[in-house]
Structure 1
Amino acid sequence: MERDVDCWLTDMDGVLVHENKAIPGAAELINQWREKKKPFLVLTNNSIYTPRDLSARLARSGIEVPEEQLWTSALATAAFLKDQSPGGSAFIIGEAGITTAMHEAGFVMTDTDPDYVVLGETRTYSFEAITRAIRLINAGARFIVTNPDVTSPSQEGPLPATGAVAALITSATKREPYVVGKPNPMMFRSALNKLGAHSMRTGMIGDRMDTDVVAGIEAGLHTVLVLTGIADHSEVERYPFRPKEILDSVADLLEDNQQTQSAKKEQDSNKKSDSK
């Protein structure tokens, strides 16, 4: 590793879990961080669930992450808006993840002359709620979106997600939203603020070049791409930027594996020296 990393941010889906099953090495890495008392947060762009929901979901996969160490696009959105307009009001489209976060940030939820229209993710977008959002934005409410993902996975296939519904609202209002979640580095900066961490000593582990890696670079983090999710080596070559490290999986960050790899490199180096 090119620089010492004292704190870690890691994406969840494709890095720690895949289809609700733990990726080999993920539980052990979380345990390693907890035993070494390394500050960390598990990040997700999904704004449907509360940290408590996500902690329970990870526990069912065999990964123990306390709810206070989960950071969602909903929490990042609520933190951003609390800083922008303390005690403000919002009309919210979304589920418990965003409504709970906004409530805890001190916002009043209303459909009458709100400061903001906040669009989060839900599996049941209401045409009536979208129509109300369009009218409120046209009347002057500022348009905020938790994350830009245009589809979300389901067992039956892709579902339209926040970014797709945001595009519909933008088309009807001619107003572009401010999007808080990845690839906006705001998501990482708010996570760093929660940890009280410095970017120069923090690493970001992700499985996507177009969100995790680019946002990590823009936030000044040590970026690690793992190949257990979306990206592969050919995907990396498509982009004009690169992560600091490319690993097969998070298992490569376990100390026992790193020591084994270091020993192997030393042996290889000695063999080359002996052959000269």
Structure 2
Amino acid sequence: MQAAGPLTVTRLEGGLADAYAAVLCDLDGCLVSGATALPGAVDFARSCGPRLWIVSNNSSDTAASLSDRLATLGFDIPPERILLAGEQALRDIADRRPGARIYLAASGRLEALARSLGLSPVTLMADVALLARDPDFGLVRLSQLVRVLAGGAELVVANPDLVHPGADGLPEPETGALLASLAACWPDLTYQTVGKPQTALLSEAMRRAGVEAAEALFVGDNPLTDGIAAQRAGIAFLHVLPPVLAAPGPTKGD
């Protein structure tokens, strides 16, 4: 079923996605805020059951670690139905460049995953560099990254998001903010991104689910990443408004 236009809601609840064979859903701002499940989100996930796929620009977790974390909040979503920008970026690199020397500006979870995929983390002379949401990013990491790029390393950026909504409603810096600092040092920076608004994560979710675009719904809170990705993929889009912007009742978007 293809919607005539994006539907806007203030919160998720059971039954909203009953008409779709697959429900692709963003994480922060839709299902959770920080370490808290958003109102109605657990019921929404239960109503979707195995039709629900997490498609997120998260570049700190792996599917396995996120599945475990969501379970503590009442969600039952196995790793096989979770697609994350950081993890997918590493898997793409491992497929394209087996055994590559990789510079990681990323979390410890992604470093462990890189090693398990046969990649070799290094701090100099890298073949490729991955910029993800690195909790230890600072001047030292920024300087190292500039040097490996000057040495000819390919740059892959997990996602372009500048921020994501924090548990207190304030913005939390994201990978795109780190990218902006790198671009300030290296103005002619060239790179490729994996996360939304690119469609790779959505396409992979639909492939795994065995559905066509007309049978899928994408649920997201950011029209500049989620909305554009859904439009590019030809998928109906359900826009979840941030609480501060929420207006009463569902309304059709223009």
TM-score by length of 1: 0.73
Q: Work out the CA distance in 2 between the residues paired with 1:198 and 1:83.
A: 25
Partner of 1:14: 29
Please tell me whether residue 66 in structure 1 is matched to residue 78 in structure 2: yes
Matched residue, 2:11: none
> Do the aligned partners of 1:9 and 1:204 also contact (CA within 8 Å) in 2?
yes
**Which AA in structure 2 matches 1:94?**
A
Using the alignment, how far apart are the partners of 1:126 and 1:95 within structure 2?
A: 13
Does the Cα contact within 8 Å between 1:76 and 1:190 map onto a contact in 2? no
Q: What 5-or-longer segments of structure 2 have no aligned partner?
A: 4-18
**RCO (CA 8 Å, sep 6+): is it higher in 1 or 2?**
2
Identity %: 24
Alignment of 1:39-54 (within 5 A): 40-54=52-66
- Relative to structure 1, is the Cα distance of residues 203 and 231 closer, same or farther in structure 2, using a 3 angstrom cutoff? farther
* Corresponding residue to 1:147 among 159, 164, 167: 159
Contact 2:33 2:167 in 1 (8 A): no
Give the structure 2 partner of residue 29 of structure 1: 44
**One-letter identity of the residue aligned with 1:220:** G
Q: How far off is 1:230 after superposition? A: 7.3
Q: How many angstroms apart in 2 are the aligned matches of 1:175 and 1:160?
A: 20
Cα 1:205–1:154 change in 2 (3 A) is closer
The CA deviation at 1:95 is 0.4
Pair 1:107–1:17, CA change in 2 (3 A): same
The corresponding residue for 2:120 is: 108
Partner deviation per Cα, 1:228-260 (whole Å, 9 max, x = no partner): 557657xxxxxxxxx9x66xxxxxxxxxxxxxx
Identify, as 1 or 2, the structure richer in helix: 1
Once the two structures are overlaid, the 10-residue window that deviates more, 66-75 or 98-107, is: 98-107
Residue type at the aligned position of 1:177: Y
Which stretch has the larger CA shift, 203-212 or 179-188?
A: 179-188
Q: Can you list the C-alpha shifts for 1:118-153, whole angstroms capped at 9, x where unaligned?
A: 111122213222211101101110111111122343
Matched, 1:76 2:88: yes
Q: How many residues align?
A: 233
Q: Residues 165-244 of structure 1 correspond to what in structure 2 (within 5 A)?
A: 165-173=178-186, 174-228=188-242
**Map of 2:16 onto structure 1:** none
Deviation at 1:155, TM superposition (A): 5.3
Looking at CA atoms only, which structure, 1 or 2, has the larger radius of gyration? 1
Matched AA of 2:191: P
Change (3 A) 1:126 1:44: same
Cα deviation, residue 78, structure 1:
1.9
Distance in 2, matches of 1:232 and 1:193, equals: 33
1:157 Cα deviation (Å)?
5.0
Which residue identity is paired with 1:206? G
- Residue 165 of structure 1 aligns to a residue whose secondary structure is helix
TM-superposed deviation, 1:11: 0.8
